[in-house]
Structure 1
Amino acid sequence: MQVNSEPTAPESPTRSAPAVPGGAKPQAAVGRTLSGGDAEKAAALRKMKLLALGLLIAMAVIFIVAFALQEDYPWLQYVRAAAEGGMVGALADWFAVTALFKYPMGIKIPHTAIIPRRKDQIGASLGEFVETNFLSEQVVQDKLASVNIARRAGERLAAPAGADRVAKEGAAVIRGAFKVLNDDDVQAVIEGMVRKHLLTPPWGPPVGRIAERIFHDGHHHTLVDLLVDRAADWVDDNHETVSRLVSDRSPTWVPQFVDGLVGDKVYVEILKFVRAVQADPRHQVRQQIDKYLNDLAQDLQHDPAMIARAEDIKAQVLGDPEVRELASRTWGTVKNALLGAVDDPDSELTVKFKAAVRDFGSRLVNDPELAGKVNAWIGDAAGYLVKTYRSDIAGVITDTVARWDAEETSQKIELQVGKDLQFIRINGTVVGSLAGLLIFTVAHLIFG
């Protein structure tokens, strides 16, 4: 009787991988080099196999000796019965364990080599089990709620090392994005946005509406005050300029001293006028300025001629060359500024970003309301993802197992659980021995 037809998957590192349907190579070669953890499991599996096989051989030796000497030593009948039961139990459990992974002794007995033959069904069942019992919206949300992700994340972000890590990863993302983005494409996008949102809409009506609100609230008065003050200062400091303007425009036959008197008089009147406008917030000139500005705001909104003039000004200021140059300068400025900031750990942007990260982390730790909102958002997002993609996630298991080679799948599983399965053989040997001894003893007492 052959008793050493053991599963040899982990012990065959030189066997070549069988082909799979369609000529594709299996996902991993059967003869792959074992990792450190797998090598330890393979060694432990071999050790347990030798132990189970040693017990079977020991039972066979004991049976042979007891059977040969039982006529001379009748008590050896009990030993023979125990050894016989142990062999039966060991062989039965060896068959059961071996039938999971391969055909026992190479004989294609029905309902053996279960894992190689049914790996696809096993993968599908495993995927369905995971989807049903683990990828449940409620299960995921309850688990996330018990973990309190917001507080844990807050504690990490509040620490300087956590903020530095976020800043470092963010800088890497920005640099990577700039490497991927094409400057011409980005400039084209900016130019398109400028044309769509800045050039295509007419300027007159929106500018008029903004101006109307500004003038209605009196925000322009500060600017008017500034202009009047500057005008008064100029007149006050330019007496000679005003006198010369008067004399230059007077007839040549007018005596020079008369030009001086007239110039002084004009200067004094202009200065008095400007000072009056400066001192009186309700001066007629100020009121006329307010009326002119309000009329201008209305014309920009409703007068076709004024709207057309605004469009002409827009076309002159922002033609095609100017728009392209604006897009180029905007992108170049943003790009250089961001790259310079992220590359400098002491830049204002980096320092403020780290401070913001630490502040946010502290709020997550110390503000239960904010932490609750973040946890709820994470739970809802995870629940949505699980609910929407649970079948796709579970399908990864099914598809992965389906791509595995049948023999390799058997070897993978045996490597993980084979050591524990060898205990079944050991227990079968022991239990079989006790059962054989008990059955023989009872039969001998009843029929002896």
Structure 2
Amino acid sequence: MSRTPVALLSPADRDRLIALRRMKAVALGALIAMAVAFVLAFWLQERYTWLAYVRAAAEGGMVGALADWFAVTALFRRPLGLPIPHTAIIPTRKDEIGRTLGEFVETNFLAADVVREKLSRTRIAARAGEWLRVPAHADRVAAEGATVASAVLGALSDDDVRDLIGDLAREHLIEPDWGTPAGVWLQRIVETDAHHGAVDLAVDSIATWLDTNAESFSGLVSRRLPSWVPKLAHRFVDDTVYHEAVRFVGAVQADPRHPARIAIDGYLARLAEGLQHDEATRAKLENAKTALFDSPRVAALAAEAWHTAKAGLLTSLADPQSGLRVRAAQAVREIGERLTTEESLQRRVDSWITDAAVFLVDRYRHDIASIITDTVERWDPAETTEKIELMVGRDLQYIRLNGTVVGALAGLLIFTIAHNLIPGV
């Protein structure tokens, strides 16, 4: 029966082939037994009249066995190789069977109302939540997600990513005008005094630096004095400059209306005005922005940042104990817990899934069903016949065996009725 070498069959198909051959042998054995019984009964019925009943039963059994053998064989091939019409149904009508099967699936299984009714009775969100909140399952989801993410990162070309980052930066950062938005933003900051906190932070930082770096003023001014000035005067000048700087910064810290603060407010207000209305100021900002982004150093820093981020992500994704994997698994468990306990969330998720499934089925059901039709059309007729026979052939052999038994009983019954009711028989 099998054209495919047994060694190439899957273990399941090998088991089916063995079972099929065994049932074929049983069905053939029943036919042979009926034939032997018929010959013996036909030969000896003149001597033993009761053998006429055996002959009738055997004759009916042979007819039933042969008829069912023909019917079963005609599904898969031509009986005895004869070109009998309406035989070898599966190989000759394979494509039609595939189209019919595809239409059946499309009509009865991929209908929108069928899908909606089925999904409406299925607690998808609750079941998913119960599964996801199990720690082992959450870890598995996180692991699978990490594997997919690692594969995607590994497949990305560093050059392509760098070009993409450059294109996105140019499109969203370089090409748009910064002047007017920056001026509006800065004006709002000045009007609401939101910049005072930054000024306080800067002044405090300067004061802290002065407290810890007094030695930095040594020679700052004195090295510019004439050589004939005494060394003591050098030290006095440097100390005076340092103390004046400390006193000035302290005054700025203590007085919210210090002239330096007012000067900063005025400068920022003028800058905001210029960025909004002065072409020269806007041009300076745009030139500085372009020079910054076009700088080879900035491009190198972007590439280095991508390499560092990629390496860090791959390392974290590969380590089951990394913070990223642990937090991902924890997030999955939290999602599962919410899906299990929050009925409102369950209803929303179930509704989303149902609506999405119905939309996809309603829009693409013909394309989905055509997968069956196209797949069956690509199958080789001989291989198709072989696989179908392996799947259902064993059960069909029972039909042959049942036909033998039913034929024998029918032959015996018919002969008995005729013998007892028809005169002269």
TM-score (norm 2): 0.82
Question: Residue 183 of structure 1: which of 154, 158, 161 is its match?
Answer: 158
Given candidates 324, 328, 346, the residue that maps to 1:371 is 346
Between the aligned partners of 1:83 and 1:235, the Cα distance in structure 2 is: 119
Cα distance in structure 2, aligned partners of 1:109 and 1:197: 75
> Are the counterparts in 1 of residues 203 and 249 from structure 2 also a CA contact under 8 Å?
no
**Structure 2: segments with no counterpart, 5+ residues:** 226-235
The 2-side partners of 1:430 and 1:229 are apart by 106
Give the Cα separation in 2 of the matches to 1:371 and 1:177.
Answer: 31
Following superposition, the deviation at residue 349 of structure 1 comes to 2.6
Matched, 1:99 2:74: yes
- The CA deviation at 1:283 is 6.8
Percent identity between the two aligned chains: 54
CA distance change for structure 1 residues 109 and 299 in 2, over 3 Å: closer, same or farther?
same
Shifted more, 181-190 versus 67-76: the winner is 67-76
Alignment partners' CA distance in 1, 2:90 and 2:265: 91
> How many Å apart are 1:185 and its aligned residue?
1.7
**Match of residue 433, structure 1, among 384, 408, 418:** 408
Give, in angstroms, the shift of residue 286 of structure 1. Answer: 5.1
Alpha-carbon shift at residue 190 of structure 1 (Å): 1.0
8 Å contact from structure 1 (residues 52, 426) kept in 2: yes
Query: Deviation per CA, 1:237-296, whole angstroms, max 9, x where unpaired?
Result: 99xx9xxx9xx99xxxxxxxxxx9xxx9xx99x969975x75665677756654543332
Q: 2:178 maps to what in 1?
A: 203
- CA positional deviation for 1:228: 6.0
> 1:54 and 1:204 mapped to 2: Cα distance?
97
Matched, 1:124 2:99: yes
Q: Answer yes or no: is the 8 Å Cα contact 2:292–2:298 preserved in 1.
A: no
| Aligned residue identity for 1:65 | L
The answer to whether the 8 Å contact 1:141/1:383 transfers is yes
Secondary structure of the residue aligned to 1:219 is coil
Change (3 A) 1:78 1:210: same
8 A contact 1:131–1:391 mirrored in 2 = yes
1:206 Cα deviation from its structure 2 partner = 1.6
Q: Is the 8 A contact 2:31 2:61 kept in 1?
A: yes
| Compared CA separation, residues 80 and 201, structure 1 to 2 (3 A) | same
Contact preservation (8 Å) 2:60, 2:411: yes
Cα displacement (A) at 1:219: 1.3
Shift of 1:364: 1.7
Among residues 325, 328, 348, which one is paired with 1:350 in the alignment?
325
Change (3 A) 1:104 1:215: same
Match of 1:36? 11
Root mean square deviation, CA, Å: 3.4
DSSP 3-state at the match of 2:87: coil
Cα deviation digits, residues 402-443 of structure 1 (max 9, x gap): 222222222221111111112222222222222222222332
In the alignment, is residue 162 of structure 1 matched against residue 125 of structure 2?
Answer: no
Q: Normalising by structure 1, what TM-score?
A: 0.78
SS at match of 2:8: coil
User: Is residue 6–residue 14 contact of structure 2 (8 Å, CA) maintained in 1?
Assistant: no
2:198 corresponds to which of 216, 220, 223: 223
- Determine if the alignment matches structure 1 residue 360 to structure 2 residue 335: yes
Letter in 1 for 2:138: A
The amino acid of 1:377's aligned partner reads: W
Which stretch has the larger CA shift, 132-141 or 205-214?
132-141
1:54 equivalent to 2:11? Answer no
Q: What's the offset of the Cα at 1:134?
A: 2.1
Determine if contact 1:82/1:436 at 8 Å carries over to the other structure: yes
State the partner residue of 2:61. 86
**Residue 402 (structure 2) pairs with residue 411 (structure 1):** no
1:148 matches 2:135:
no
Note closer, same or farther for the CA distance 1:61–1:209 as it changes in structure 2 (3 Å cut).
Answer: same
Deviation at 1:362, TM superposition (A): 1.6
Map Cα deviations across residues 90-143 of structure 1 (whole Å, 9 max, x no partner).
Answer: 221111111111111221111111112111211221222222222333333444
1:304 match: 279
- Which runs of 5 or more structure 1 residues have no equivalent in the other structure? 1-8, 16-28, 250-259
Match for residue 5 of structure 1? none
- The answer for the alignment partner of 1:23 in structure 2 is none
